[in-house]
Chains A and B, each alone.
Chain A
Amino acid sequence: MSEPLPQRQALRLHVPEPTGRPGCHTDFSYLHLSAAGEVRKPPLDAAPRDTADMAYSLVRVLDENGQAMGPWDPQLSPELMRRGLRAMLKTRIFDARMLIAQRQKKMSFYMQSLGEEAIGSAHALAIDQGDMCFPTYRQQSLLLARDDVDMVELICQLLSNERDPLKGRQLPVMYSIKRAGFFSISGNLATQFIQAVGWAMASAIKGDTRIASGWIGDGATAEADFHTALTFAHVYRAPVILNVVNNQWAISTFQAIAGGEATTFAARGVGCGIASLRVDGNDFLAVYAVSKWAAERARSNLGPTLIEWVTYRAGPHSTSDDPSKYRPADDWSKFPLGDPITRLRQHLTLQGEWSDTQHEATQKELEAEVGAALKAAERFGTLGHGHVPSIASMFEDVYKDMPPHLIDQMQQVQKLGGRP
């Protein structure tokens, strides 16, 4: 006798939703956090499949009291930690000042990295000069952590003025600074993730010792280039660090819509045969230690590493965005991994290596430094008033040499002499 067929139900489309919308609280239990010090540190030559558990847990060093715990404690010198704290503060102050400048119409657009400062700052200090980062538009901390990048130059790019190194061709924040290992930012999401793999392959082809570091957000992992990057990095064992910054939001879209529901972005790496780690992105010490581990692994020809940095996009997506329309206004204060600056400050203070007085003094000093840089940059023009790059520079660099049709078009515009 055959069993009766089960009653067929009407199918239902599942569309993920964040638990928190304006006016109600987010339930952050979906994050699946581990305690500080709890997660093991695998050997540098760990097989990718042996990192599977790491992709579903969370590497953390700093506990709630600011104590460094467990095998991932990088045991940094107080000096390096102070440097890190300073880099994070500098990034936050820079962002805040540029936000005001955008509101004052000195620039057309800006994107803050509020709450994500630890990731780029610690990563920049963990990799070597000569390594190449392929950032998104929210890794300004990679630049601001470096002493050899002049803030005036960055602000000139934001202002599109006559000293803009990109000659006014790019939207603000789309920096390109090759000498600082910072690849040209593109507006097209995820494209740089596969390019980082290609750069790393080139380094391997030439027998170089430099590695690449690719960057992507949670939302952009849904782009095809995320998958091509993982495939190519795995196939050719490219010396690359594949960084996924999971700040929970892609503009208004919760990370569950990107494919984060009931899984992790780190798990994608394991599925593609790449060693993968999931890390507290607001824990400067964890970011430093894991970046160092992945860099050493790549540099030792042991292959790529994928890292999911769990953090929270504390600010609006951009100056054109209003998050109060799609998420709770107090969401960041409820985010269980806190504020990266507060956490490192607490740790350093606990060690007796930092004080409120030092903190306030550093903050003041950085505010003055950023203010002075803005003032210096404004002397070369702002969007509203000034000296934009020349008409000719609109036609240069399309090709290495200007072809006849562009010479012709340039001469047409020059004849108009700036008249629309």
Chain B
Amino acid sequence: MNARSETEVVPIASDDKTTAMTMIQALRSAMDVMLARSGDVVVFGQDVGYFGGVFRCTEGLQAKYGKSRVFDAPISEGGIVGIAVGMGAYGLRPVAEIQFADYFYPASDQIVSEAARLRYRSAGDFTAPITLRMPCGGGIYGGQTHSQSPEALFTHVCGLRTVMPSNPYDAKGLLIAAIECDDPVIFLEPKRLYNGPFDGHHDRPSVPWTNHPLGQVPEGYYSLPLETASVFRPGTDLTVLTYGTMVFVAEAAANETGISAEIIDLRSIWPLDLPAIINSVRKTRRCVVLHEATRTSGFGAELSALVQEHCFYHLEAPIERITGWDTPYPHAQEWDYFPGPARVAAAFKRAMEA
């Protein structure tokens, strides 16, 4: 059993100055720190070099570290991941970007058949210490191919680690941990959270990270452990298992219903922090699973099964799953698709009434 569960934010060394950062700046800072720490770290992808990325996540890095460390790649996801595997086999630590998670599919063979299995099939002779950054998630009118949440396609693959941060502080600490990790890591970045938290109230003005406590990010090196969830909001009535943008949606639903929901931000989707989940559900005796991805065979099904297996005698209500619908991500019907606070609040009430 994993005994590394933590319920508080890892303390920061007091001499390390913190700065307000967006998630974009935090991710860039993580890559900056790691490029500076090791000559084996290289960053590449489509529009990543000179231009600094379509989301600005790599802005200034090529100017600072040179073209052999940070560079533009042809539009070929299979090629981008394929060279990352080859570089990893050589001994580098590539951090490759896929412009949108929706476009990882051409690289599926390299991810599933190669990166994930290289250590296993070669009995450790070769490894793939690579990080694949992919902006993911909806809530931005991205339509079918700029909104997907494909995490379940990765969690099903043995040998991969799948990680998704929900805020700038975690984003930097987890990305540094991913780059340092000797296993291949799929690093999913909810693009809806790039500039500020988002609770699903699309009709309200967006808020920046500037004034949010999790937007305070140390300037230097720190890392957060993988396989460790955080209790985003402590509570006693029910447990919410979620990650990414849905963390804030769950928070809004909890505030609006007055239900004392304990929100577990998984951060590492798989392998995950099972003790944190078990501890919380056995305490609250109710569980709601939330994700943007489509429902059937989504990661929520695995979460629901794990809770059922480990907390059966503690459960007072059926496990609720609130997810995207089993349809491609639509454009015009964005807010009927996205699992917003109203749907989540209704699920909370159902769980409490059961």
Is A415 interfacial (CB-CB < 8 Å)?
no
Given A166-B122, A184-B126, 16 more A-B residue pairs with CB atoms under 8 Å apart are A166-B123, A184-B121, A184-B125, A186-B114, A188-B109, A195-B83, A197-B82, A198-B84, A199-B90, A206-B90, A224-B78, A225-B78, A225-B110, A232-B73, A404-B227, A404-B274
Measured in the bound complex, the distance between the Cα atoms of B158 and A169 in whole Å is 14
Closest to A238 in B: B83
Closest to B112 in A: A188
The residues of A that contact B240 with a CB separation of less than 8 Å are none
Interface residues of B in 166-192 (CB under 8 A from A): 181-183
Measured in the bound complex, the distance between the Cα atoms of B123 and A174 in whole Å is 12
Chain B min CB distance to A213 (Å):
12
Is A176 interfacial (CB-CB < 8 Å)?
yes
Interface residues of A in 160-210 (CB under 8 A from B): 165-167, 169-170, 174, 176-178, 183-184, 186-188, 191, 194-206
The residues of A that contact B122 with a CB separation of less than 8 Å are 166, 176, 178, 184
The residues of A that contact B82 with a CB separation of less than 8 Å are 191, 194-195, 197-198, 225, 228-229, 232
- Which candidate, A100-108, A263-271, A321-329, A392-400, is the interface stretch facing chain B? A392-400
The residues of B that contact A222 with a CB separation of less than 8 Å are none
Is A405 interfacial (CB-CB < 8 Å)?
yes
- The answer to whether B124 touches A205, judged by C-beta atoms less than 8 angstroms apart, is no
Is A231 interfacial (CB-CB < 8 Å)?
yes
Given contacts A166-B123, A202-B91, A404-B2, contact A232 B42 (CB under 8 A): no
The residues of B that contact A231 with a CB separation of less than 8 Å are 74, 76, 79
- The answer to whether A397 touches B83, judged by C-beta atoms less than 8 angstroms apart, is no
Chain A min CB distance to B187 (Å):
16
Measured in the bound complex, the distance between the Cα atoms of B227 and A201 in whole Å is 32
- The answer to whether A397 touches B271, judged by C-beta atoms less than 8 angstroms apart, is no
Is A235 interfacial (CB-CB < 8 Å)?
yes
- The answer to whether B120 touches A202, judged by C-beta atoms less than 8 angstroms apart, is no
The residues of A that contact B76 with a CB separation of less than 8 Å are 228, 231-232
Give the interface size bracket for B toward A: 35 or more
- The answer to whether A205 touches B68, judged by C-beta atoms less than 8 angstroms apart, is yes
Is B92 interfacial (CB-CB < 8 Å)?
yes
Given contacts A188-B109, A398-B119, contact A205 B74 (CB under 8 A): no
Chain A 343-368 interface 0/1 with B at a Cβ cutoff of 8 Å (1 = within): 00000000000000000000000000
Chain B 64-96 interface 0/1 with A at a Cβ cutoff of 8 Å (1 = within): 000011000110101100111111111110100
- The answer to whether B123 touches A202, judged by C-beta atoms less than 8 angstroms apart, is no
Given contacts A176-B125, A232-B76, contact A198 B120 (CB under 8 A): no
Closest to B226 in A: A403
Chain A min CB distance to B106 (Å):
7
Measured in the bound complex, the distance between the Cα atoms of B118 and A167 in whole Å is 14
Chain A min CB distance to B194 (Å):
29
B interface residues with partner A (beta carbon < 8 Å):
1-2, 39, 42, 68-69, 73-74, 76, 78-79, 82-92, 94, 106, 109-110, 113-114, 117-127, 158-159, 161, 181-183, 227, 271, 274
Chain A min CB distance to B152 (Å):
16
Interface residues of A in 247-302 (CB under 8 A from B): none
Partner of B86, one of A176, A188, A195, A398: A195
- The answer to whether A399 touches B121, judged by C-beta atoms less than 8 angstroms apart, is no
Interface residues of A in 112-146 (CB under 8 A from B): 132, 134
- The answer to whether A184 touches B79, judged by C-beta atoms less than 8 angstroms apart, is no
- The answer to whether A194 touches B113, judged by C-beta atoms less than 8 angstroms apart, is no
Chain B min CB distance to A393 (Å):
8
Partner of B79, one of A176, A178, A183, A228: A228
The residues of A that contact B127 with a CB separation of less than 8 Å are 400
- The answer to whether B123 touches A191, judged by C-beta atoms less than 8 angstroms apart, is no
Partner of A398, one of B87, B114, B158: B158
**Residue among B83, B87, B227 with most chain A CB within 10 A:** B83
Chain A min CB distance to B12 (Å):
26
- The answer to whether B92 touches A202, judged by C-beta atoms less than 8 angstroms apart, is yes
Closest to B92 in A: A202
18 interchain pairs, CB-CB under 8 A: A132-B90, A178-B126, A184-B126, A191-B109, A191-B110, A194-B79, A195-B83, A197-B86, A198-B82, A198-B90, A198-B94, A199-B87, A199-B89, A199-B90, A201-B83, A202-B87, A202-B92, A232-B79
